[in-house]
Structure 1
Amino acid sequence: MHNQNDTKHPHSTLPHLWQATFTPPPLADPDDPHKIVRTRLNKKEIGKSSGTCRVAFLTRLHRRAAVQEFWCASFEEAQVYINIAGHPDVINFKEQLTNVPFCDLEGRETFTRVDAHVLLRNGNEVLVSVKYDEKARRKSYLDEVQNIAAQTPVEVADRFTVASRYLFHPNHRACVEAIHKARRGWDPEADDAVLELAHRLGERFRFKDIVDASGLGHRAHRAVIRLVGDGDLRKDLLDPLAPETELWRTAA
Structure 2
Amino acid sequence: MQTVMEIADNHPHAHLPHLWAANIAPPMLADPDDPNRLSPTRLSKADMKSNKPKRIWKSGSTCRVALVTRLHRRAVRQEFWCASFEESQVFLNIAGHPEVINFMEQRTSVPFTDLSGNDTFTRVDAHVLLRNGEEVLVSIKYDEKARRPSYLAEIANTAAQTPYEVADRFTVTSRYLFHPTYRDCALAIHKARGGWDPEADDQVLELAGHLGERFTFQEIVDASGLGHRGQRAVIRLVGDGDIGKHLLDPFSPETQLWSAAA
TM range (shorter): over 0.9
Corresponding residue to 1:117 among 127, 150, 153: 127
1:99 aligned onto 2:83: no
Corresponding residue to 1:34 among 22, 33, 36: 36
Which residue is 1:87 aligned to?
97
Contact 2:241 / 2:261 at 8 angstroms: preserved in 1? no
Which residue is 2:215 aligned to?
205
Name whichever of 12-21 and 237-246 sits farther off.
12-21
Give the aligned residue type for 2:163: P
How do 1:1-252 and structure 2 match up within 5 A?
Answer: 8-42=10-44, 45-50=55-60, 54-250=64-260, 252=262
- Per-residue CA deviation, residues 45-95 of structure 1 (Å, 9 max, x unaligned), is 114223665111111110000111111111111111010011111000000
User: SS of 2:18's equivalent?
Assistant: helix
Paired with 1:226 and 1:235, the residues of 2 have a C-alpha distance of: 12
- Deviation for aligned residue 1:216: 1.1
* CA RMSD after TM alignment: 1.7
Paired with 1:19 and 1:10, the residues of 2 have a C-alpha distance of: 16
Amino-acid identity (%): 73
- Deviation for aligned residue 1:32: 0.4
Contact 2:107 / 2:123 at 8 angstroms: preserved in 1? yes
TM-score normalised over the length of structure 1:
0.95
Matched residue count: 249
Give the aligned residue type for 2:229: R
Unaligned runs of 5+ in 2: 1-5, 45-52
- Deviation for aligned residue 1:19: 2.6
User: SS of 1:69's equivalent?
Assistant: strand
User: SS of 2:42's equivalent?
Assistant: coil
Contact 2:72 / 2:240 at 8 angstroms: preserved in 1? yes
Unaligned runs of 5+ in 1: none
